[in-house]
Amino acid sequence: AAAVSALPMMLAVHFPASVTGFSSLRLSSSTPVTHVARYAASPRSVTMQHDGKGFGGGEATRDPPPTVYDPSDPKGKQQAIHKAESFAEYLAKRGGFSDSHKSGVCEPRGAAAATAVSKVAPATAPASGSPYAELADAYFADIRRELALLMDNPSWDDGSLAPVLIRLAWHSSGTYDKASGTGGSNGAGMRFDAEASDCENAGLHTARAFLEPVKRKFPGISYSDLWVLAAYVGIEHTGGPSIAFRPGRVDWEGEHELLAGGWCNPMPRGGHGRLPGAEKYVAYDSADAAGRPSGWQKLCGHIRDEVFYRMGFGDREIVALLCGGHVYGRCHRGSSGYAGAWVEHPTRFSNEYATDMLEDEWRLVGHEDTWLDDMGAAELRPAAGNRQYVNKCPLGTGGDDANQMMLLSDMALAWDPDFRVHLEAFAADEAMLAREFGAAFKKLTELGCEGVLQPEVAAGGLAAAR
């Protein structure tokens, strides 16, 4: 991408006709050692005991084509109901595991297992270089391999599970509060309704269900570790940075442990507020001279003070996380109320999010903007009551471009001068974004886990796990 620091801000801000007074404007846990120890004595070939496909082979999860044409969903994406339970049922019916592993658990039987356990079962987290650490390296390498096999899924959004698994790890980690020490990825609290019921976590039950077969096969890894490792693998699998993994997160045994933190007991109406709200504090009754809706500065304050500063991040890390994280996946009307992908290639790591935000023209739309349907962009109309920006115009501008959207919380990065300087830097240097996103995402997923995390497992890259 060309350097953009000298480019004028190419941002068209248009408000729907239904919004009075607006016009079109343009701007220049410690891992249980028993299973790990047993696994050390098991045959290395156990990882490929289901016909070499791994979990997530396309034929295992392909949904039937849509039977009813919906003009607001021309590709049938919203009609495809991806029930991960049925995927697990498929694996069970397929009987792909060997007779000695009917449950799919990677552990041997008999004296070999007992001998292995007796040799390595430390009471505390092992030191780097200990025999247990070596066993853990092998165990987690095979989990990485299994997760990599899961990522490509032709029947899921844009053919990849990586984006939804990245979102799962982000949302499970993004609840951390440094002042109280509560929240964070440790505990895997989203397994319980007190955390899962937050509106910002809508749709993530499917991501968790897709990982269930992996958890059953590798019971030595906690859910909280598995969710984080799945995101790391998804990022690397899609061309993003390799992130070294530290295991050791401990799952809550019951919802009472989650509730003891107090931050989601009970869940406030509208969510616990620890995850970003895309339109928080924004009003559409007026706009400033640049065409930005009133309240956008308060939205920037929400992003900073109520979300990322609360966890211990600075402005540059905030922009790195959003530039790297929102290059993945898409929003769905049925989950978040927003609709569409941020970038043209939502299953590939890049700095496209940053470059497109700065270089493309963006228009504010609502559900009532049916002109999007006529342009083949019905998938960009948000649910009633929600607003978002799109790279389209009623007069035809952007008609030949891929359908893309930005949330108001995304646009804030271009509007706020202190955020914008970092946005421009990442738009000009994709390699720098990869480095800094990887570091910031690792920090995010380790917040609140300092007392339980073990040393990094060796050779964090996928190449080492093959």
Which amino acids are annotated catalytic? 171, 342
Q: Enter the DSSP assignment of 308.
A: I
How many Å apart are CA 458 and CA 449, to the nearest integer? 19
Query: Residue 171, Cβ neighbours under 10 Å: how many?
Result: 21
Q: Within 13 Å of residue 396, how many CA atoms lie on the same side as its CB?
A: 0
- Give just the sign of the alpha carbon dihedral 326, 459, 175, 77: positive
**To the nearest 10°, the Cα dihedral for 48, 51, 56, 62?**
180
Closest CA to 324 of 173, 446, 427: 427
Interatomic CA distance for residues 173 and 270, integer angstroms: 19
Query: What is 23-38 written as a DSSP string?
Result: --EEE--PPPHHHHHH
Q: Tell me the three state secondary structure of residue 215.
A: helix
Identify whether the C-beta of residue 235 lies closer than 8 Å to the C-beta of residue 166.
yes
Number of Cβ atoms within 10 Å of the Cβ of 376? 12
CA distances from 232 to 13, 241, 351, 438 (A): 36, 9, 18, 9
Query: Could you give the CA distance from residue 196 to residue 285 in angstroms, rounded to a whole number?
Result: 33
Instruction: State in Å, rounded, how far the first CA of the chain is from the last one.
Output: 32
- If we measure between CA atoms, which residue out of 165, 147, 148, 153 comes closest to residue 62? 153
DSSP secondary-structure letter at 76? -
Judged on CB neighbours under 10 Å (0-12, 13-18, 19+), 248 is: buried
* Alpha-carbon gap, residue 115 to 105, rounded angstroms: 18
Helix, coil or strand: residue 380: helix
